[in-house]
């Protein structure tokens, strides 16, 4: 699936393809910035414990694909959602599958915030019983909330009524995944906290870049999250274009309040819909209304 086919996105991109004042941080695997789709993109890699260059490994593929969904430039094989926004690449997942601690994730969040991020995308997390997290991760998320920075995080792919952090922490925008028909995918988590702070976005066979050149289609809540992060960046860019102060809190609220019901008819499966499906045109209207 090409992300530009998502309803409402082309219309939003006619108004803005992103503002350079809006910085989006990608906390993920190493990104292959030599991929042709990034030619002309404003990307900065921050130094972290993950110091290797991009490889053909799983996490470099993960990170490169996710970054391309937001930052791929208009004249390439892949077209990103917010190609004119500034990108911060914060490698946290290594190709040797070294486990990411909540402390290191908290440090990466703080690093992104210190470098001007307005939106932070985290396509990963730790499965928990009740959405509990270690103190340093809680503090990092609270700091983002206090500074009006939007954290967008994948809901997880365990296929259960369960939660993962940071997606389940207060003020985070959790993202689950739907197929092309708008049905929640079987693997997409639907824990109770997500019912009020979770949104569904396309997450099946999403077309993106792979290290070394070329494209790949991948599925998961990991690939739904950057779609929402990219749309949030465009909505913030729209605020800049209007002469307003960009307000991530208002953008998060607009995305949640405008969500559409998903395509489940029976009440048994209703929790899998979270707060609903991403509604780009509705979010634009909601954002305009909340401004008044």
Q: Which of 35, 60, 62, 183 is catalytic?
A: 62
Please, are residues 223 and 69 in contact by the beta-carbon 8 Å criterion? yes
Closest to 274 measured CA to CA, from 181, 188, 172? 188
Q: How large is the angle between the packed helices 280-291 and 221-241, nearest 10 degrees?
A: 40
77 is annotated as an active-site residue:
no
Q: Which of 68, 222, 237, 258 is catalytic?
A: 222
222 is annotated as an active-site residue:
yes
Polymer length of the chain: 292
Integer Cα distance of 45 and 89 in angstroms: 5
Tokens of 179: 């197929």
Tokens of 254: 């607009």
62 is annotated as an active-site residue:
yes
Q: Which residues are catalytic?
A: 28, 62, 222
């Amino acid at each position: 699936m090409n992300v530009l086919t998502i309803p409402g996105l082309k219309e939003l991109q006619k108004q803005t393809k992103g503002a350079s004042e809006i910085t989006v941080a990608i906390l993920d695997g190493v990104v292959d910035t030599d991929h042709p789709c990034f030619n002309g993109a404003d990307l900065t890699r921050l130094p972290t414990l993950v110091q290797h260059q991009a490889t053909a490994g799983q996490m470099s593929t993960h990170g490169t694909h996710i970054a391309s969904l937001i930052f791929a430039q208009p004249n390439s094989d892949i077209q990103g959602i917010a190609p004119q926004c500034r990108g911060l690449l914060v490698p946290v997942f290594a190709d040797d599958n070294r486990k990411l601690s909540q402390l290191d994730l908290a440090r990466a969040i703080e690093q992104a915030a210190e470098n001007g991020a307005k939106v932070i995308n985290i396509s990963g997390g730790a499965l928990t019983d009740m959405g509990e997290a270690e103190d340093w991760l809680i503090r990092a998320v609270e700091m983002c909330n206090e500074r009006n920075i939007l954290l967008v995080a994948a809901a997880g792919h365990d296929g259960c009524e369960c939660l993962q952090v940071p997606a389940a922490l207060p003020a985070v925008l959790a993202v689950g995944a739907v197929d092309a028909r708008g049905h929640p995918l079987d693997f997409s988590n639907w824990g109770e906290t997500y019912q009020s702070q979770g949104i569904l976005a396309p997450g099946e066979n999403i077309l993106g870049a792979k290290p070394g050149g070329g494209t790949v289609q991948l599925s998961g809540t990991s690939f739904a999250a950057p779609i929402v992060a990219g749309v949030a960046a465009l909505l913030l860019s729209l605020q800049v274009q209007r002469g307003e102060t960009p307000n991530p809190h208002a953008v998060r609220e607009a995305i949640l309040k405008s969500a559409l019901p998903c395509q489940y008819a029976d009440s048994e499966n209703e929790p899998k819909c979270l707060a609903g499906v991403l509604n780009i045109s509705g979010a634009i209207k909601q954002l305009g209304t909340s401004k008044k």
